[in-house]
Amino acid sequence: MGTWSAEVFGNDTSCEIKEYFYEQYNQGSEVTQIISELQEKFTYSLNNTDDRNNVLFALSYCLWETKSLDDSLLEKSLRSLRVGVT
């Protein structure tokens, strides 16, 4: 994993999420199918506390841009932001 900045797409994982999401989305795949495929493809990252937020934030951003972000993923992303905040 490479990290270049603290931006949402400032690391390899989130860039891969974005690339895969839009590749599939532009080919006409259903958003729910894309999400399932990404969850399977990035299982390791989702289970890794150091990389989980990269997946959640990148996917949330892509879904937000396509007006597909649902409340459950939004809440999961917001909870990730709150971890460690006092």
Phi-psi map region of 43: left, alpha, beta (phi>0 left; psi -120 to 50 alpha):
alpha
pLDDT of the residue at 81: 62
pLDDT of the residue at 42: 95
Predicted TM-score (pTM) of the model is 0.81
Range of the domain at 53: 12-82
- The structural domain count of the chain equals 1
The residue with greater pLDDT, 33 or 79, is 33
Residue 71 lies in a domain: yes
Cα separation, 39 vs 82, whole angstroms: 22
Residue 6 lies in a domain: no
Cα separation, 84 vs 6, whole angstroms: 17
